[in-house]
Amino acid sequence: MQLQVIQNKIYQVRGERIMLDFDLAELYQVETRVLKQAVRRNLDRFPQDFMFELTKEEYDNLTSQNVISSHGGRRYMPFAFTEQGVAMLSSILNSKKAIDVNIAIIRAFVVLRQHLADYKDLKEEIAKLEKQMNTKFKDINQALNYLLNKDQQQTQQANRKQIGFKKN
């Protein structure tokens, strides 16, 4: 199973990386209603941090961003499974295909997590460099302002009307 295909089916909702029931059903090669029935029969295995039902607003938001395509008229909102929820699915969908797909999905989540960790490290390095550069630019800016102001001050002093005694 292609890792990229799975990664493209991982979305961010409520601050969690999730997969939707119809995407999982497609990967498992079962109907969505079959997957949902299996989950409903085993709801005690799926606490809120493993699986939740999307609100209409969340679902509309995903479709409006073209993250997911609209799946026609829906009577029920899709279930969203976190990484732990996907792992739990393997215990209720007991087929060879489900096990293979679950292994691939868990690997996709691991790769995604590694990319995010690498991104975080890179972001921290960039922030550190920006801070150093801002300090250097601030020093350069102060030096330039001093030089510009020095020339202006000299020009102003030369243009000032002199006071005091004049020597003949």
Within-domain flag for 156: no
Largest CA distance in the chain: 112
Is the pLDDT at 157 greater than 70, yes or no? no
Q: What percent of the chain has pLDDT over 90?
A: 17
**Chain centre to alpha carbon of residue 71:** 24
pLDDT for 47 equals 92
- pLDDT band for 80, please (50, 70, 90 cuts): very high
pLDDT for 70 equals 58
Mean of pLDDT values over 13-41:
90
Within-domain flag for 162: no
Within-domain flag for 93: yes
pLDDT for 71 equals 57
For tokens 């989540």, the residue is 109
Within-domain flag for 128: no
Q: What percent of the chain has pLDDT over 70?
A: 86
Hey, how many other C-beta atoms are within 10 angstroms of the C-beta on 115? 11
| pLDDT tens readout for residues 35-67 | 999 999 999 999 999 999 999 898 888 887 766
Is the pLDDT at 152 greater than 70, yes or no? no
Within-domain flag for 40: yes
- Provide CB contacts within 8 A for 69, sequence distance 6+: 63
Within-domain flag for 37: yes
pLDDT for 78 equals 92
- Residue 20 β-bridge partners: 80
pTM for the full predicted model = 0.60
Number of domains in the chain: 1
Is the pLDDT at 34 greater than 60, yes or no? yes
Can you read off the two tokens belonging to residue 161? Answer: 């009307």
Q: Is there a contact between 45 and 88 (Cβ–Cβ < 8 Å)? A: yes
Is the pLDDT at 123 greater than 70, yes or no? yes
Task: Report DSSP letters for 72-104, one per residue.
Answer: SS-SSPPEEE-HHHHHHHHHHS-SHHHHHHHHH
Within-domain flag for 115: yes
Q: The domain spanning residue 40 has which CATH number?
A: 3.10.260
pLDDT for 52 equals 94
- Provide CB contacts within 8 A for 46, sequence distance 6+: 39, 85, 88
- pLDDT band for 2, please (50, 70, 90 cuts): confident
Q: What is the mean pLDDT of the chain?
A: 80
Q: Whole domain around residue 112: which residue ranges? A: 3-121
